[in-house]
Structure 1
Amino acid sequence: MSVLKTGLAHPSRMRGIFRYLLHAQGQREKRDVLERILSPDKLVEHLASEEKSKDKKTSHPMFNDAIRESIKCQLLIEENEEVTINQNLPKDAINPQLGDKLLADTFTYLFFTSDNEDEEDFGRVCAWYLAQDIYDAPGTWEEVEKRISEQKVGDFLKMSSSRLFVQMDDWMRYLGFAWGHTLGVSGEKLVKVTVPDPTAYIKRNLKLLFDGEQEITIQDFINRLAKQCPLFETGKFREEVESQIGTREANFLSTSTAFALFRLHDEGDIQLERQSDSAFMILPKVNNQVDNDGRISHIIWKGEKS
């Protein structure tokens, strides 16, 4: 079972456990001590009373689900009744000063790039959402349910309830593949929508993607991006999705990836160029900032901002 289907394995809860262990002695703690610190009995009893639970026993479902998924994805390891951060992760990922900042990318690697079979359903759902037209993307569960039906991918995605959409939404926002906003109020209810936009993820990983180079071809950039995170074009999960909903036109990027690159261009992080006599890819929905009809051959990284 993936984090998509474990409703209490919220990113903030898994992050809370990780952040505590980052600064614990030896980056380890006895499980029962960790449970008492992060999920005190009094808090659990209060929540149970609010929910009018018939089970009077103190249980810690949020903690247990979060730590189980953290162990299953190998962020954490449990041995001899102790829980510790996986010391086989990259050094920066477990550095007390950097680990929390890098955690979203650590999760992305553990979920999608490390051949984690438990998270393959989550990878397909995320890749499917990023493959939607960003200018007409389903932003609510009702719209997602309708789009899944229209594209006939219900059996493929297995997104059968609003609870799964909420879980997808929380994780994609945290990982940097989507963001949300409020449209307004309908009756007494806020109308919130989600937008598939991987700008935050790509921005965080520009240094890694350019790998010491300042200028690379758009094709090299996309290949590196797909290797780093197979939710993107030519990556494992995106290709599985496109085999179900139809492949993109040759040399075209999806609108969500194109939108992210345009944003990064506008914000001064990269420069998009069409150089003569060079192979190009087409970024649909061109804005006025790129004077080449969306035909891009090279990307220039402007460097880290202070």
Structure 2
Amino acid sequence: MSIVTTAQAVPSRLFAIYAALFESETGEIKDRIEAWATPPSLSGRGADDDGESTTTLFNNTLQEARRIGLVEDIDDKLRLTADARGGGKKVRDSEVYFLDYMRRTLFDPARALETQQSGFMIALTWFLSSSPLRPMNFSEPPQVGMRAQIGDHAPKTELTSLNRYQNFLYWARYLGFATIVGGRDADDQNARRVIPDPVRAIEGALPAVFAEGNDLPIEQFLTRLSGIFPVFEKGSVREDYEAMLLIPVPDPGQRLSITTSIALQRLADRQRIALTSLADAPTRILDFGSREGRVSHVALRA
């Protein structure tokens, strides 16, 4: 099981447990946490929008919180693990610490394997390899198209049903890699679309990427970025995924994906970074779909 395969383990529910325990450094009795999540009038009934009892929602979410290392059982209490708390104290912004822990867990290949979350990075790499110029349908499972791309490796993404696909999309959006737009159309059909959009994730990583200097050759920039998120170019998970492709990536090591290219250009447009192409310096091709550009250096701007 994982945050993708456990239907109840959406970001809001896992964070709700985290936030409740974040405010109690000594832990809370499990029944009290469950009571907060499942009021007596709703407990055991199909009170949730998904048609499941709130007790089931809580128990399955809690099970995933344990599996991912967020909480531990101490005597008759639930408590955040020291690693999940990350030194945070109550009254502070608990979501900052929650996001930090989830990123450290999901994007460290060893930790992801240990906590049974490896499929998320493979799915995210597939997602980021798609084109933001062709938004995906939120309500159509991707198995057919995915199998055409990576064949028998498709189950490694864990996106084997519509429910799992949507759970993945909620997490991709929460972690800064996706945008979900739209609602229902005139015929009351779900018209939501999903766009690969890692701008927030890259922007959040900029301080670490530029920790030792504000101007980096593009290869060094990619090495540092992929060290934080191995789903980007030069990352270990990205390279493993590209080895699965039935049709190899054109110009490997030279061309950035459309998703990465557009994200970097958007950050440049926002004055967060500067993209330059110096004569005689090694460059990468920026792919914008209808046009191309080149970049040899990335600089951090104020």
TM-score scaled to structure 2, two decimals? Answer: 0.87
Question: Alpha-carbon deviations, 1:9-29, whole Å to 9, x = none?
Answer: 1110001111112222x2521
The residue number in structure 2 matching 1:112 is 107
The residue number in structure 2 matching 1:134 is 132
Q: Is the 8 A contact 1:109 1:229 kept in 2?
A: no
The residue number in structure 1 matching 2:221 is 221
Counterparts of 1:22 and 1:50 in 2: how far apart (Å)?
A: 27
Deviation at 1:263, TM superposition (A): 0.8
Question: Alpha-carbon deviations, 1:194-228, whole Å to 9, x = none?
Answer: 11111111111211111142111211111111111
Counterparts of 2:49 and 2:171 in 1: how far apart (Å)?
A: 26
The residue number in structure 2 matching 1:101 is 96
The residue number in structure 2 matching 1:296 is 295
Q: Which amino acid aligns with 2:188?
A: E
10-19 or 107-116: bigger deviation: 107-116
Deviation at 1:92, TM superposition (A): 5.8
Q: Which amino acid aligns with 1:138?
A: M
Q: Is the 8 A contact 1:198 1:257 kept in 2?
A: yes
| 3-state SS of 2:82 partner | coil
The residue number in structure 2 matching 1:164 is 164
The residue number in structure 1 matching 2:278 is 275
Q: Is the 8 A contact 2:84 2:97 kept in 1?
A: no
Aligned length: 294
Residues 1:9 and 1:223: Cα distance change in structure 2 (over 3 Å): same
Unaligned ranges ≥5, structure 2: none
Q: Does residue 230 of structure 2 align to residue 235 of structure 1?
A: no
Q: Does residue 77 of structure 2 align to residue 82 of structure 1?
A: yes
Q: Does residue 142 of structure 2 align to residue 144 of structure 1?
A: yes
The residue number in structure 1 matching 2:67 is 72
| 3-state SS of 2:181 partner | strand
204-213 or 178-187: bigger deviation: 178-187
The residue number in structure 2 matching 1:199 is 199
Match of 1:259 among 244, 258, 262: 262
The residue number in structure 2 matching 1:189 is 189
82-91 or 236-245: bigger deviation: 82-91
CA RMSD of aligned residues (A): 2.7
Deviation at 1:190, TM superposition (A): 3.3
Q: Which amino acid aligns with 2:181?
A: H
154-163 or 209-218: bigger deviation: 154-163
Unaligned ranges ≥5, structure 1: none
Counterparts of 1:52 and 1:158 in 2: how far apart (Å)?
A: 23
Residues 1:45 and 1:170: Cα distance change in structure 2 (over 3 Å): same
| 3-state SS of 2:230 partner | coil
Deviation at 1:42, TM superposition (A): 2.0
Counterparts of 2:239 and 2:158 in 1: how far apart (Å)?
A: 17
Counterparts of 2:140 and 2:46 in 1: how far apart (Å)?
A: 29
Residues 1:96 and 1:294: Cα distance change in structure 2 (over 3 Å): farther
| 3-state SS of 2:278 partner | coil
Q: Does residue 34 of structure 2 align to residue 39 of structure 1?
A: no
| 3-state SS of 2:12 partner | helix
| 3-state SS of 1:251 partner | coil
Residues 1:259 and 1:143: Cα distance change in structure 2 (over 3 Å): farther
| 3-state SS of 2:287 partner | coil
Counterparts of 1:144 and 1:215 in 2: how far apart (Å)?
A: 39
Q: Which amino acid aligns with 2:73?
A: E
Q: Is the 8 A contact 2:142 2:159 kept in 1?
A: no
Question: Alpha-carbon deviations, 1:227-280, whole Å to 9, x = none?
Answer: 111121222221221112223523211111111111111111111111223211
Counterparts of 1:277 and 1:230 in 2: how far apart (Å)?
A: 28
Deviation at 1:192, TM superposition (A): 0.4
Deviation at 1:106, TM superposition (A): 2.4
Residues 1:248 and 1:89: Cα distance change in structure 2 (over 3 Å): farther
